[in-house]
């Protein structure tokens, strides 16, 4: 009979009494201790893990956007592009994750929906931070975070900074020589499509060779928004599939509210110029 494999014979370090191990480094005990169920329903664990993993990926999205924004400010485009590509990939990852949640039927969900009370993704401060950092800024969305001063402050700080799109538009202006009306760039409101901005982006798309950095930046932004839109679409479709047209636990009209959010344009001029080329 062959001997069972002993990894220590292969040199694997087997004792971690004194050294940092996998679980120590990743704080696995703390991470796995957070699954406090609010019902006896089998599917509640799926629901919690789906959201927690989404929030972890959102954390990384925020980290990448913040760094990309700083790099763009310093005219350091190449590493910023790498980060923006990563953000689009993360959204793709989140999009695939819906396939797991979709295995939960309406019957399964009703076994624990009541236990959720009024909690809802509507109150995800990281999701709102992502929107704010990209440029979709509605200060009215901050109110649900008043009970958590730390989250509220993070959102307020974000509104005081230029968004990723603002920074991209600064670069667009600097490299094309087209000066934009500063009134068009409010920090605390969603970006509204501006004809001069569209003219400048159009110049870029009509002459990519001259404006290659801007051209690549524009396509990175469009890619990011494309994946983000797919996330919103997957969300609303899953919601309709699971709760139909019931009101949301957060108090909104539910599917109707989410359908309205499908109309959001993060980088409107980049979409509008396409029909004119
Ligand atoms: C069966 C699964 C799900 C259902 C039935 C559902 C339902 C809803 C509903 C009805 C809303 C509107 C707000 C409200 O009144 O509650 C909402 C918002 C939201 N949900 Fe979900 N959701 C589900 C899964 C998820 C997952 C997996 C995430 C990932 C983090 C998520 C994140 C969000 C976010 C961020 C919002 C706010 C969207 C915005 O304001 O634009 N939801 N959800
Ligand atoms: N808004 C959902 C509940 C829900 O999906 C949810 C509840 C708590 C934490 C996150 C959630 N996900 C998305 O809204 C509903 O109306 O059923």
Could you give the domains of the chain?
Answer: 43-119+163-276 (1.20.58.480)
The rounded Å distance from CA 88 to ligand 2 centre is 24
> Which ligand 1 atom lies nearest to the CA of residue 249?
16
Confidence band (pLDDT; 50, 70, 90) for 1?
Answer: low
The rounded Å distance from CA 121 to ligand 1 centre is 4
For the chain, give the mean pLDDT: 96
147 marked ligand binding residue: no
Residue 59 has pLDDT above 90, yes or no: yes
Tens of pLDDT, residue by residue over 11-25, are 999 999 999 999 999
What is the pLDDT averaged over residues 141-148?
A: 97
% of residues, the chain, pLDDT over 90: 95
> Which ligand 1 atom lies nearest to the CA of residue 58?
30
The rounded Å distance from CA 71 to ligand 2 centre is 35
Tens of pLDDT, residue by residue over 212-257, are 999 999 999 999 999 999 999 999 999 999 999 999 999 999 999 9
What is the pLDDT averaged over residues 180-195?
A: 90
Tens of pLDDT, residue by residue over 152-162, are 999 999 999 99
Instruction: Decide: 84 and 210 in contact? Cβ < 8 Å.
Output: no
126 marked ligand binding residue: no
pLDDT (0 to 100) of residue 35: 86
pLDDT (0 to 100) of residue 157: 98
The rounded Å distance from CA 261 to ligand 1 centre is 12
pLDDT (0 to 100) of residue 96: 96
How far is residue 12 from each of residues 25, 36, 50, 143, measured CA to CA in Å?
A: 18, 35, 34, 53
What is the pLDDT averaged over residues 108-113?
A: 98
> Which ligand 2 atom lies nearest to the CA of residue 250?
1
SS3 content of the chain, % helix, strand, coil (to 5): 65, 0, 35
Residue 147 has pLDDT above 60, yes or no: yes
What is the pLDDT averaged over residues 50-75?
A: 98
* pTM score, whole prediction: 0.97
The rounded Å distance from CA 3 to ligand 2 centre is 52
Q: Within 74-211, where are the H helices? A: 77-101, 106-110, 125-134, 149-160, 164-176, 195-206
Query: Which residues have C-beta within 8 Å of that of residue 57, sequence separation ≥ 6?
Result: 90, 93, 94
What is the pLDDT averaged over residues 101-124?
A: 98
pLDDT (0 to 100) of residue 184: 80
pLDDT (0 to 100) of residue 183: 82
- Give ligand 1 pocket residues (Cβ under 6 A): 50-51, 54, 101, 109, 120-122, 124, 127, 235, 238-239, 242-243, 248-252, 254, 257-258, 261
* Closest residue CA from atom 7 of ligand 2: 120
| ipTM over 0.90 threshold | yes
Q: Which ligand is nearest to the CA of 119?
A: 2
């Amino acid at each position: 009979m062959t001997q069972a494999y002993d990894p220590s014979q292969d040199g694997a370090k087997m004792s971690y009494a004194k050294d940092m191990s996998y679980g120590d480094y990743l704080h696995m005990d703390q991470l796995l201790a957070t699954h406090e169920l609010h019902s006896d329903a089998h599917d509640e664990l799926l629901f919690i893990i789906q959201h927690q993993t989404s929030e972890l990926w959102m954390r990384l999205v925020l980290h990448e956007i913040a760094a990309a924004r700083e790099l763009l400010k310093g005219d350091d485009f190449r590493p910023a592009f790498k980060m923006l590509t990563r953000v689009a990939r993360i959204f793709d990852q989140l999009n695939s994750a819906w396939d797991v949640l979709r295995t939960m039927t309406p019957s399964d969900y009703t076994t624990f929906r009541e236990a959720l009370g009024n909690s809802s993704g509507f109150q995800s401060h990281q999701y709102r931070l992502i929107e704010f950092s990209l440029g979709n800024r509605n200060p009215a969305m901050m109110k649900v975070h008043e009970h958590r001063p730390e989250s509220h402050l993070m959102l307020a700080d974000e509104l005081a900074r230029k968004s990723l799109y603002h920074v991209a538009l600064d670069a667009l202006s600097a490299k094309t020589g087209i000066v934009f009306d500063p009134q068009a760039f409010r920090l605390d409101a969603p970006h509204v499509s501006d004809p001069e901005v569209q003219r400048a982006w159009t110049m870029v798309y009509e002459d990519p060779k001259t404006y290659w950095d801007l051209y690549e930046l524009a396509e990175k932004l469009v890619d990011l928004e494309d994946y983000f839109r797919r996330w919103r679409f997957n969300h609303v479709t899953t919601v309709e599939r699971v709760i139909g047209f019931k009101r949301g636990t957060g108090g909104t009209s539910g599917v109707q509210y989410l359908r309205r959010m499908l109309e959001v344009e993060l980088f409107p001029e980049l979409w509008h110029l396409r029909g004119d080329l």
